Structure 1
Amino acid sequence: MTLEKLFEEFKTKKIIVLGDVMIDAYLSGKVDRVSPEAPVPIINFSKSEDRLGGAANVALNLISLGANVVMSTVIGKDKEAETMLRLMEDQSISTSGIIRSDERQTTVKTRVIGNHQQLLRIDQEQTDDISTAEEDALLKDLEDLLKSGCDALIFQDYNKGVLTSRLIEEVIKLTKKYKVPTSVDPKQKNFLAYKGVTLFKPNLKELSEGIQQKIDFANDRSQFEYAVKELKSIIHPEIIFTTLSEHGVFIEDENNQYYIPAHKRMISDVSGAGDTVISVATLCLAVGTSIETLASMANLAGGIVCEYRGVVAIDADDLLQEALKIDVKC
């Protein structure tokens, strides 16, 4: 398969993204004086902007690569939920798997920007686990989606309560029933709950915290490989894919193991890079590439988005051209 054919294949895939969604809100303006009431800057407001964040940013990356995406989550019945649904519909993200609940608050992270610098962040969120009734409603919708046909499901966890241990276990059962591959971008709370998934993608810090072992990758790679072995013995994924920051990425399945070095770049902002990595990795998984190609493409994509300030989705043409330039083997 050529790289061009791989990107055409991306456009044929339907992916379910299950996890915590949020709105990233921005209030921007100019600062030229300090308040007489308290030692804080006064911002002369100029504009506001709402963007999709959390698991919804994974959906944006998938859409940018041409895939069809269904969002599965629980949000509130508040005005912020209306904004969330409008933003998703504007981006052609299917909202058919979204449960709205009187018991939940829609997550909003508001950043106050003055003179192009973040001065303050205000979080509106509810982080307790969703209720059993909400779990059951999600599971019913998810089984309908899986039954109707899809190519992969992503668990995207931000510790905001949607991905409970019970939900994770039941969804994995459903994906096995309908033979749908799964990928996971985990957080610490339910790190070891994802038993039997297809691809598990922690970063180095998450791996260290998840199995409660210190890892000094730069000076003792054997520590890292032991940690990977321990993790595999607990959750038994088919593929372990670990991002290693400036050291690149590591991937291993039953037969092969690869270290892919990072590409030298002018790093502006690492925010959202993990969302891009799991998106590209999952599409490669759905297409059926080798794990080396999967790791190379995801590593490249994660590096590209780090050159931009703020959270941005990967541009498909940028990724294709860079992959061609460095001759990623497909």
Structure 2
Amino acid sequence: MASFSTPSEASLPWSNPRVCVLGDVMVDAYMWGSVSRMSPVAPVPVVEVTQREQRVGGAGNVVKNLHALGATVDVIAVVGEDEAGRMLHGLLATMAKPTLLVDPSRRTTVKTRIISDGQHVVRVDEETTDSIDEAMQSLARNSLLTLLQGNDKPDVVVLEDYDKGFFSQGLIQAIIADCHTHDVPVVVDPKLKHFLDFTGVDLFKPNLKELNEGLGLQHPVSPLDAPAMAAAVESLMAQLRCDRLMVTMGEHGVWMHAPSEGVNHAVIPAFPRDVADVSGAGDTVIAVAALMLASGSKPKDLATVANLAGGWVCERVGVVPVTREALESELQRLKLQHTVKP
């Protein structure tokens, strides 16, 4: 069983995990500069750009975290026949084996943030969010099946939905069925459009806002009202028929419900943090949760380590992936150790 204790050093329960990520990948582009004047043709500032950078975003950030944590990663996604798609392939190839299906009718999602003197001025989005067609869905499913039927099938599959068109109800159910046929667990980080379509998964991880909006609650629940929160969690679990439901709640920690494993509405409190930036924390949490699940960890241990990793990220400015070394250092610092015993 998996357990926590307080020995002299901390360790994590995985060694060389293989993970497949499917979902919406994108380019996060940044332009830094400073404002020196106002535009003569409109009451807007003129930013003189001094630096540019492109990074993987969306499901790509989950890939980045998994790579930093020591996993071997495959990623399956759809991009446009454009420079951004080619750039994304190059960026992902440094950390994973990318299978990027090219759809000439789509634009690769690019989110450009313009930052002046440390302040976020504006974000410009270029994207196509219509659902991919059936031909692309078949290619995506077949790409996963090739991995599942191979000699090095993934230990866990992560479905990372950003509502950018990769997932449909049919593709979701086909992926889940294929994974379970090959005894591979599925974890999900949802968005709203297909929130209730991910039925039968092994771990479903919404945040508190997504829980409220996904259930369409007229009166949003709060972790400060435990009975209402528990009722919402049970309602969602009944609709999804999932094995484990983990809700991230920011400064309130994590709510874990896995009744089939004897865990009923466990609240893992957040560790005290000097929060600098919450960007990317959810991607870090799902990456760590996937590795913990694939390693056979118990629900409370899974939630504790994932919560710890998300908190570590929040203390850093920008989208920063957690490394295995950093997470083990955190476990040591907080006098926690994770071990898996036969």
TM tier, smaller:
over 0.9
**Is 1:17 matched up with 2:31?**
no
Shift of 1:194: 0.8
Out of 94, 97, 105, the position equivalent to 2:97 is 94
Could you list the runs of 5+ residues in structure 1 that have no partner in the other structure? none
Distance in 2 between the 1:45 and 1:208 partners? Answer: 40
Distance in 2 between the 1:171 and 1:10 partners? Answer: 24
Q: Structure 2 vs 1, CA of residues 169 and 2 (structure 1 numbering), >3 Å: closer, same or farther?
A: closer
Shift of 1:11: 3.8
Deviations 1:267-324 (A, max 9, x none): 1111110000000000000111111110000000001101111111112222111112
Report the equivalent of 1:204. Answer: 208
AA aligned to 1:243 is T
Report the equivalent of 1:50. Answer: 54
Report the equivalent of 1:228. Answer: 233
Distance in 2 between the 1:6 and 1:146 partners? Answer: 29
Identity within the alignment, %: 40
AA aligned to 2:333 is K
Give the helix-richer structure, 1 or 2. Answer: 1
Which piece of structure 1 moves more, 310-319 or 59-68? 310-319
Report the equivalent of 1:146. Answer: 148
Report the equivalent of 1:125. Answer: 127
Report the equivalent of 1:39. Answer: 43
Q: Structure 2 vs 1, CA of residues 182 and 109 (structure 1 numbering), >3 Å: closer, same or farther?
A: same
Distance in 1 between the 2:106 and 2:246 partners? Answer: 33
Conserved 8 A contact 1:297-1:328: no
Report the equivalent of 2:316. Answer: 308
AA aligned to 1:231 is L
Conserved 8 A contact 1:11-1:65: no
Conserved 8 A contact 2:212-2:221: no
Shift of 1:208: 1.0
Distance in 2 between the 1:218 and 1:291 partners? Answer: 19
Out of 79, 82, 107, the position equivalent to 1:78 is 82
Distance in 2 between the 1:288 and 1:88 partners? Answer: 28
Distance in 1 between the 2:314 and 2:170 partners? Answer: 34
The higher relative CO (CA closer than 8 Å, separation ≥ 6) is in 2
Distance in 2 between the 1:131 and 1:108 partners? Answer: 21
Deviations 1:178-217 (A, max 9, x none): 0100100001111111111000001111111111223332
Q: Name the count of aligned residue pairs.
A: 327
Deviations 1:111-168 (A, max 9, x none): 1111111111110011010000100111111100111211000010000000111110
Could you list the runs of 5+ residues in structure 2 that have no partner in the other structure? none
Distance in 1 between the 2:92 and 2:15 partners? Answer: 18
Matches within 5 A, 1:106-117: 106-117=108-119
Distance in 1 between the 2:36 and 2:270 partners? Answer: 41
Conserved 8 A contact 1:29-1:43: yes
Which piece of structure 1 moves more, 210-219 or 250-259? 210-219
Deviations 1:13-46 (A, max 9, x none): 0000010000000111122222222221122211
**Structure 1-normalised TM-score?**
0.95
Conserved 8 A contact 2:11-2:328: no
Conserved 8 A contact 2:114-2:121: yes
Local SS of the residue matching 1:193? coil
